[in-house]
Structure 1
Amino acid sequence: MRVGLIGFGKTGRAVASVLLDSELTQLQWVMRQSHVLEHRSVAEFLGVKSDEPALILSKAEFTAANLLDQKPVDVIIDFSGDSGLSYYGEAAAKRGITIISAVSQYEPETKERLKALASQTVVMHSPNITLGINFLMISAKILKNIAPYTDIEIIEEHFKLKPEVSGTAKVIAKQLDLDESQIKTIRAGGIIGTHEILFGFPYQTVRLKHESISREAFGNGIVFAVEQLQGKSKGFYSMEDLLLPFFRLTDEDSDTSQKSKKPWWRFWAN
């Protein structure tokens, strides 16, 4: 699958390295706001070996329509910010290009604009696209349905200088119908990100915990999403939509069973 990446910050760079290494994806270009690094090879900049043509481009050089006509892709992956969608959204949807947005926070009107594009193409949005976090949230919702009487606490840990409460923790709280005041925050050292959901039963405790080891975990989730969205009808999807079929413990869905055996994790298995 030919992919283009919007955004090249710390997370975007980690994702780019995963996309370059994946057999499923072919990174065609990276688009960023700044002219810095313009026309540099992504692989060269990251110090990895790759035959893919990926170049670093700036928005001032191309309109989205010109970019997508001259350097076509099948999927656009967005790790930019709230304003990124206004650059490429309409042009991508008009051409039937799949949109995968991993922007953590959108203004309400931008989120509605993203959903509206789903009438023209396949659109997926996930504020945290790591497989582990999304598995954790689904598992937590299932456990809450089983035992709605339990005490539930959310604990999030991040690096010392992170000022705000984790956006992912807020999403977890919303998914579990909990007030954000129930989020416990720890700031220490260089912790990349840890989220824990504690279920307090009368005679036992269950802890669901996810720890980010490196930002390449976001690339892991992107490759999974790219694979699972292939062949989907146009519409708006979440990571939960893609993961729920895998919660079946039987092989009722042979297509899902076969897909789960494909080596989308290959980039860290070598």
Structure 2
Amino acid sequence: MSPSTPAPLRIAIAGCTGRMGHMLIEAVMAADDCVLAGALDRAGSPAIGQDASAFLGKASGVAITADLRTGLQGADCLIDFTRPEGTLAHLAVCRELGVQLVIGTTGFSDAQKAEIAAAAEDVAIMMAPNMSVGVNVVLRLLDMAARALNEGYDIEIIEAHHRFKVDAPSGTALKMGEVVANALGRDLKECAVYGREGVTGERDPSTIGFATIRGGDVVGDHTVLFAGIGERIEISHKSSSRATYAQGSLRAVRFLAGKARGLYGMNDVLGLG
């Protein structure tokens, strides 16, 4: 490495043996400006002690570990797509060690989100329910559409994911709902309808409906429907690979480089304001 070449970003991956973990490791290994520095998995995993990139048929020299301090030693940033309880445990150690954090985990409660915001006073964190560049462009389009279609249109959000997803609606669907509700001057907590069954009566035009589908290996489909009289507008995003989430995560890592503290979103990463 020449004196003018910046040191590679040292990245640790949480949940490294899962589908998203494998995609993240592959993306890090393929990036010229990144290096795998740590690989975390749950205690008792049969993968503990194995090389983190063995599934790729190549060696990284990084052994999978359940010990957070071992896995984060020397890391600049941890990418975490696990579950809320695990992410918060990782967050506490990252805060202690000064390791930045990119959070793609969904399903946080308001109290848990407050914990993350508090930790961001000491370490730089980028948190988003979806790391896809395309999804975040769609969020901007939804804000524009909702402001223009603010009267006479019923709004429904339909999302589909694979059978293994444990939270519903998806974090991305909820974010879409928040964007639309904010654009309309509404509070999503007050206007969201998450299920319909039986005799529900006529639709309240002030509500935002959610429909959830779980099945097969669907990576992630989201559609926001603005249904008016005589026309329907649909804004959709469909993921065919988790690679887009991995690449978005690396963009987030690069964005955080050099930042001491603060809580950021993908709008900040992409310069969308």
TM-score by length of 1: 0.77
Deviation at 1:204, TM superposition (A): 5.0
User: Distance in 2 between the 1:86 and 1:179 partners?
Assistant: 27
User: Distance in 2 between the 1:238 and 1:102 partners?
Assistant: 10
Map of 2:63 onto structure 1 = 55
Return the letter of the residue paired with 2:25: A
CA RMSD of aligned residues (A): 2.6
User: Distance in 1 between the 2:249 and 2:111 partners?
Assistant: 24
Inter-CA distance 227–54: structure 2 relative to 1 (3 Å threshold): same
1:124 aligns with 2:126: yes
Q: Which runs of 5+ in 1 are unaligned?
A: 248-270
Inter-CA distance 161–22: structure 2 relative to 1 (3 Å threshold): closer
User: Distance in 2 between the 1:132 and 1:141 partners?
Assistant: 15
Map of 1:38 onto structure 2 = 48
Return the letter of the residue paired with 1:239: M
Inter-CA distance 191–89: structure 2 relative to 1 (3 Å threshold): closer
Question: Per residue, is there more helix in 1 or in 2?
Answer: 1
Which of 86, 100, 103 is the equivalent residue of 2:102?
Answer: 100
Which of 192, 204, 224 is the equivalent residue of 1:179?
Answer: 192
TM-superposition CA deviations, 1:224-259 (whole Å, max 9, x none): 11122223452111112323x247xxxxxxxxxxxx
Map of 2:188 onto structure 1 = none
Inter-CA distance 123–189: structure 2 relative to 1 (3 Å threshold): closer
Inter-CA distance 48–206: structure 2 relative to 1 (3 Å threshold): farther
TM-score by length of 2: 0.76
Return the letter of the residue paired with 2:235: L
Map of 1:240 onto structure 2 = 267
User: Distance in 2 between the 1:114 and 1:185 partners?
Assistant: 27
Deviation at 1:201, TM superposition (A): 5.3
Which of 169, 174, 185 is the equivalent residue of 1:170?
Answer: 174
Secondary structure of the 1:103 match is coil
Contact 1:29-1:53 at 8 Å conserved across structures? no
Map of 1:151 onto structure 2 = 154
Which of 112, 115, 139 is the equivalent residue of 2:114?
Answer: 112
Deviation at 1:205, TM superposition (A): 4.0
The number of residues matched between the two structures is 238
Q: Which runs of 5+ in 2 are unaligned?
A: 1-8, 182-190, 195-208
User: Distance in 2 between the 1:206 and 1:34 partners?
Assistant: 47
Map of 1:24 onto structure 2 = 33
TM-superposition CA deviations, 1:82-124 (whole Å, max 9, x none): 2224433233224432111111112333221111111111111
